[in-house]
Structures are given as C-alpha cells and as structure tokens.
Amino acid sequence: MIGRLLGIAVLCCFATGLYSHYLQEPLDWMAFPTQPYWIYRLTQGIHVATGTAAIPLLLAKLWTVYPRLFSWPMIKSIRHAVERGSIAILVSATVLQLFMGFINTIKWYPWPFSFRQVHFGLAWVTVGSLLIHIAVKLPLIVEHWRNHGIPSSGKGWSRRGFLTATTVATGLVVATTVGQSVNWLGRAAVLSPRKPHVGPQGLPINRTAAQADVLATATSAKWQLLVRGPRTVSLSLAELEALPQHKVTLPISCVEGWSQNADWTGVRIRELLELVDTPTNATVTVSSLERDGHYRTSELSPEFIRDDRTLLALRLGNETLHIEHGYPARIIAPGRPGVLQTKWVQRIEVNE
Ligand code: HEM
Ligand SMILES: Nc1nc2c(c(=O)[nH]1)N[C@H]1C(S)=C(S)[C@@H](COP(=O)(O)O)O[C@H]1N2
Ligand SMILES: [Mo]
C-alpha cells in the first residue's frame, strides 16, 4: 500500500518535473499551453506537494523493508544481484532526490553544482530503477492481486496502525505546506517555507533589487526600454505609459512551489513587437538590467507572445510596480514559471 502511494507520488513528480524542465529548456519543436493561465501553478504545486508527501512515505517504506535490505547472503544468483543492485540505486537516488528537492524549496543551496541539472539527472535514475524494481516484482504483484489484494502475512492490527500513522504523517506535511500554492489553505501553511501574502504589495519576492544590484540603474531617470526587431525603438517610461494599457490577473508561480495571483497593468508584448515589425512566428529574448544571475534573461516563444495576457507590466495592483517586483518594467505571462517572469527589464530583442 505504502509502496503504491510512493510510486504514484514519484511518477507525479517525474511528469510535472519534466514539464518544468522543458518550459525552461524547450526543444525546438515544443510549444506550451498558455491556457488555463494557472497551469504551471497547478503542475509545480503538484510537484512540490507530492514530493513532500513522498518523504514520510519513503521513510515508512524503508522502515517496513529495512531488515530485508541487510539479509544474508547478499547475493544468491545473477537475477538476485540485478534485483539488489537496482534496489540499492533506487533507494539512494530517491533519498537524495527527495532531500535535495525539499531543501531547495526552503532556499538552502549547500552544493557547488547546479541543482537543476543534478535533480534532472537523478529523476531519470530514480524512475528508471523504479521501473526495473516493479518489473522484477511483477510476479509477486500479480499474485497479490490474484488473491484479491489480501495481505499475505503480518498481524492485521499493527499493520493497520502503522498505515494510519503513515497516512496521518503524510496528510499533515501536505496540509501544512500546500497553502503556499493553494491560497485558501494559506492560513494552514504553518510549515510552508513561503507565505503567499507576505511581501511588498502583498506578493513575496525571491531576488531583491539589492541582491540583483539594480537599485541605481532601475531608478535612473535615463532608463529606456530597447525593443529590437527588424527595426529598433527606445521608449522612456513615460512613452510606455502613453501606449494602450491592459490589465490582467496572473500568478507568480515560483519553481519552489509558492504561487500568488496579482493584478498587473502594462503594455502587451505583442503590441510592443508590432512597433518594430516583428514577424508573428518570432521568439524573443528579454534581458534585465541585472548583470549576472541565472534569471537575468528569459525567452518568449510565439505562443506566449500571441497571448494577449503577456505583458510588460508597469503597475501592480493600483500602484506603480515596486522596485522589488521589477520597477520600472517586468514580464508577466500566463502558464510560466516565476523564473521566466523577468524583472527590471531593459531589452526585448527578436532572436536571429
Ligand atoms: C522522486 C521524486 C522527484 C522527481 C522524479 C523529481 C523530478 C524533477 C524534475 C525532472 C525537475 C525539473 C528539473 C529541471 O528543470 O531540469 C524537477 C524540478 C524541481 N523539483 Fe523535483 N523531483 C522529485 C522530488 C522533488 C521534491 C521532494 C521536491 C521538494 C519538496 C522537489 C522540488 C523541485 C523543485 C523546487 C524544482 C524546480 C527546480 C528549478 O527549476 O529551479 N522535487 N523535479
Ligand atoms: N531579473 C530577474 N528577474 C527575476 C528573478 C531574478 O532573480 N532576476 N527571479 C525570478 C523568480 S525565481 C521569481 S519566483 C519571480 C518572483 O517575482 P516577484 O519577486 O515579483 O514575486 O521573479 C523572477 N524574475
Ligand atoms: Mo522563483
């Protein structure tokens, strides 16, 4: 039972994780839905919630099998060796994967390597060894269901107690964290790393303007937006404000699992690109005033540009965009991870 739940959680993590990966590193032929606008909020919310649920499930699973992990003789046959080898890889990859993912969501990055690359690689190892494990155990699984799913051994009462304890523990960790992406559960989110309403203008921030070293450049009276396509234009903030303004409600959905809706007002990216005669199938690169940092640039592919809700936002709520949220201008688009919603935008350029 616990193994089944754990398997489902891992496969949910894998599917939603791949979605997040390819949004950030699309292959040439890929296009992503911008509808419903909360799709990434949903997929990454599921990722972090099922990932968090997998932690007590994994501990419970290891508890139920650990005497067998050290059974003797270590190896009985080649088949047995393959089976144990795949279990060793499965256990170590899953432990690492869950632990790494979890501490990433609490903004702790103790390693010198890229979290994303290692987490991506380990995802394939975890799921690959899980599938091998299921294949090896298939005869046992089939036999179990032939017997109408009746547990083959053990005392009913203690099994049930253990299962209840595991379910309660899993339910508790999910209930006390999932409010970071499901806002009506926000008040129960006592253990969640992020509180969705806490921050300037009621919205959390990840990187601050000071950390990004843009305090001077973003507030400079000389700031201009450069839009480069077949033609090039530079627009001051006043000129941007004089263009048609549109209002949208869209969330910031951070890869780390918190999400928060907000009302944004600004200029449509599509209309900005029309000013410079950009072809409709173009992909553009957005660059920030920020000099370095992983998130100083992002790409907008045609499906996001075509969507009328994709804005260069100048306002948040009824106020000028706060500097922590990207003043003078930031990208906001439906269905994208927060990491791609570039703040302190300086240039929008059509890719060659
Ligand atoms: C076996 C379980 C898991 C699998 C198979 C898995 C898989 C993945 C994959 C494939 C990605 C995309 C990485 C990329 O962009 O290249 C991802 C991203 C992510 N995962 Fe997991 N994951 C698992 C568990 C967890 C857990 C337990 C957490 C936290 C509680 C977590 C948190 C994250 C975060 C925060 C990201 C976004 C990273 C970023 O884009 O910067 N994952 N995961
Ligand atoms: N230039 C720049 N834009 C950025 C970032 C950054 O570090 N630099 N962080 C991104 C991340 S990870 C998130 S979740 C969102 C958060 O937006 P907010 O701070 O306005 O809530 O901004 C994104 N835009
Ligand atoms: Mo983020």
DSSP state of 183: G
Predicted TM-score (pTM) of the model is 0.94
Cβ distance 327 to 321 under 8 Å?
yes
Tell me the three state secondary structure of residue 300: strand
Sheet order of strands, 284-288 included: 232-235, 225-228, 345-350, 284-288, 297-300
Q: What is the DSSP string of 245-293?
A: PEEEEEEEE-TTS-EEEEEEEEEEHHHHHHHTT--TT--EEEEES-SSS
Which pLDDT score is estimated for 159? 83
Tell me the three state secondary structure of residue 96: helix
Both tokens of 178, joined, read 């999932």
Please name the helix (run of DSSP H) or strand (run of DSSP E) that holds residue 109, with its range, or none.
none
Cβ distance 273 to 350 under 8 Å?
yes
Residues with CB under 6 A from ligand 1: 10, 13-14, 17-18, 20-21, 24, 47-48, 51-52, 54, 94, 97-98, 101-102, 104-105, 116, 119-120, 123, 126-127, 255-256
DSSP state of 196: T
Give the length of the chain. 352
CA distance 258 to 49: 11
Both tokens of 125, joined, read 């190892």
Which pLDDT score is estimated for 252? 96
Which pLDDT score is estimated for 166? 93
Which pLDDT score is estimated for 157? 62
Which pLDDT score is estimated for 156? 58
Scanning 107-236, the segments in alpha helix (DSSP H) are: 115-146, 156-175, 215-219
- Sign of the Cα torsion 132, 7, 34, 348 reads negative
345 φ, ψ (degrees, to nearest 5): -65, 140
Cβ distance 291 to 214 under 8 Å?
no
Which pLDDT score is estimated for 107? 82
Which pLDDT score is estimated for 187? 73
Instruction: Show the CA angle centred on residue 267, arms to residues 266 and 269, nearest 5°.
Output: 130
Q: Nearest to residue 207, comparing CAs of 337, 343, 115? A: 343
Ligand 2 binding pocket includes 316 (Cβ within 6 Å): no
Our mutation pick for probing the ligand 2 site, out of 195, 206, 314, 320, counting the most ligand atoms within 8 A of Cβ, is: 206
C-alpha distances in Å from residue 205, one per residue of 80, 92, 260: 51, 34, 11
Our mutation pick for probing the ligand 2 site, out of 255, 259, 295, counting the most ligand atoms within 8 A of Cβ, is: 295
pLDDT per residue of the chain (352 residues) written in tens, 0 to 9:
899 999 999 999 999 999 999 999 999 999 999 999 999 999 999 999 999 999 999 999 999 988 888 888 888 898 888 888 989 999 999 999 999 999 999 888 888 999 999 999 999 999 999 999 999 899 999 998 898 776 655 555 688 899 999 999 999 999 888 888 887 777 777 777 777 778 899 899 989 999 999 999 999 999 999 999 999 999 999 999 999 999 999 999 999 999 999 999 999 999 999 999 999 999 999 999 999 999 999 999 999 999 999 999 999 999 999 999 999 999 999 999 999 999 999 999 999 8
Ligand 2 binding pocket includes 322 (Cβ within 6 Å): no
CA distance 314 to 321: 6
CA distance 281 to 139: 52
